[in-house]
Amino acid sequence: MTTGAALLIVDVQNDFTEGGALGVDGGKAVAAGISQHLAQHAADYDMIIASRDWHDADNDNDGHFAPGEPDFVTNWPVHCVADTAGAEFDPGLDTTPITHHVKKGQGAHGYSAFEGVTDDGATLAELLTDVRRVDIVGIATDHCVRASGLDALGDVADVRILTALVAGVAAEPSQAALAELAAKGATIV
């Protein structure tokens, strides 16, 4: 029987907040907002999971890094390389309450947090086995939040996207991502 609740924090990393390699407007505000949410609601969650892009430094990560000019659709500038400042959490995010860390994109594209693993090899789906509800927050609404939310819908009974705590690359695709998630069964809060 599934009972618990989890918070999934998607990719609130230096390279995805303002000033980063793929900085998203509003990213730093999302980091601060998530920290405030955790200060008020951490006890409401049985687990708090944070995902991070954690790309290899010595290859193109299966075409994820553009060899020349990126198209910003299927390939991107170099970002979130493992063990670099860009891959670290934004300093505005309080990581103290985080109970599990998932790294994704290790040698691959890795948009969904469900493609990642913990340092001991557990998948996100395995972590969420007994979870009834997952609240999703983070960056970017139109990419990794969307992909993580769609995958969560296959594993968790109740998926909620907390829209005050997400930031997208662009308004139109972010709204389209939220509409798609709602149409597939997510609750947009």
Give the DSSP per-residue string, 47-88. Answer: EEEEEEE-B-SSS-TTTTB-SSS--SSS-BSS--BTTSGGGS
Of residues 61, 59, 60, 43, the one with CA closest to residue 5: 43
How far is the C-alpha of 21 from the C-alpha of 113, rounded, in Å? 20
Active-site residue, from 11, 90, 151, 155: 11
Active-site residue, from 15, 53, 90, 144: 144
How far is the C-alpha of 119 from the C-alpha of 115, rounded, in Å? 13
104 is catalytic: yes
11 is catalytic: yes
Active-site residue, from 104, 135, 142, 155: 104
Catalytic residues: 11, 104, 144
